[in-house]
Amino acid sequence: MRISAQLIDATTTGHVWAERYDRDLQDIFAVQDDVTQKIVTTLAVKLTQGEEDRLTRRYTDNLEAYDHTLRGLDHYYRFTKDSILQAREMFEKAISLDPGYALAHSRLGWTHLREWSFGWSQDARSLERAFELAQKAISLDDSLADAHELLGEVYLWQKRHDQAVEEMNRAIALEPNNAEALADMGHILTWAGRPEEAIGLAKRAMRFSPVLPIQYLWVLGHAYFLTKRYDEAVATLKRAINLQPDFLPAHGLLAATYAELGKYDEARAEAVEFSRLGSVFSPKAFIERLPYKDEAALKRLFDAFGRAL
């Protein structure tokens, strides 16, 4: 097996360090440890004992479970109905191979949460299952930021906004430079009526992760919509759709944004695309269940989307 590792400066996209490894597959964890240590040395970073422990921690020693989790993550981040189900199969297999694998439990929970939040399931059991898996992952490893992020998102969809923010703060305290945790906090703050703060968090997440994950752009576009920066919302949501054309939430929000701008032909086209992507709810029913803390924000989105139909 050959592995090429590169360290990129996120601000300049310049190469800082690179190395190639020719190893047996069974040595993959040793390669990870070596890469971690060389990055720390290259950056001349002084770590506390706790930080060093987190960097070198292995969430599982079972190579097959680890492989299934990586495959699951690849499916998960495509954010389609079929890919989420494929990811679920991978995470379930990882858990069967290593029942104590906290990250696999957490990521399995995310598949149930996405099924609920994207409107692919009307069954409240999906949200309950996500909650159970978040608690299970935390019971296995309370220092796993991903599990606290999941629990925060579950609280959000239960409209327990203050608890959602508290849980995200725990995740960020565990991993302050985790781009996904920062973006997830921004996501929660948009629904909690704090979109200006969300803009800063989404931009910070994108600086930490120059290969833009779709959800960072979604958070930013949503925050722009809520602050009535509609042209910026359109540009951001179109970037998201260019990255992943089947990303359901971006089409729905883009339809509403075009309607706010009076561009009704474009709004209708996005509303049609939103409906095509498979929510089991009608478009208006989908919007009514969104977890806004501020009823006025929900009404504005609902009315705008209504004009797009």
pLDDT tier at 21, thresholds 50, 70, 90: low
pLDDT tier at 59, thresholds 50, 70, 90: confident
- Whether residue 130 contacts residue 165, with contact meaning beta carbons closer than 8 Å, is answered with no
pLDDT at 148: 99
Lowest-confidence segment of 87-101, 111-125, 161-175, 202-216 by average pLDDT: 202-216
Handedness of CA 290, 195, 154, 212 (dihedral sign): positive
Does the fold of domain 193-309 match that of domain 62-176?
yes
Residue 278, pLDDT > 80, answer: no
Give pLDDT tens digits for 224-259.
999 999 999 999 999 999 999 999 999 999 999 999
What is the rounded CA–CA span in Å between residue 42 and residue 156? 40
Residue 3, pLDDT > 80, answer: no
- What is the pLDDT of the chain when averaged over all its residues? 89
Terminal Cα-to-Cα distance of the chain (whole angstroms) = 53
Give pLDDT tens digits for 74-86.
999 999 999 999 9
CATH superfamily of 193-309: Tetratricopeptide repeat domain (1.25.40.10)
pLDDT tier at 41, thresholds 50, 70, 90: low
CATH superfamily of 62-176: Tetratricopeptide repeat domain (1.25.40.10)
Give pLDDT tens digits for 42-57.
555 454 445 555 545 6
pLDDT tier at 295, thresholds 50, 70, 90: very high
Give pLDDT tens digits for 127-180.
999 999 999 999 999 999 999 999 999 999 999 999 999 999 999 999 998 999
pTM of the shown model = 0.85
Q: At what angle do helices 125-140 and 102-117 cross, to 10 degrees?
A: 160
Instruction: List the chain domain ranges.
Output: 1-57, 62-176, 193-309
Instruction: Indicate the SS3 state at residue 142.
Output: coil
pLDDT tier at 26, thresholds 50, 70, 90: low
Longest Cα separation, the chain: 59
Residue 37, pLDDT > 90, answer: no
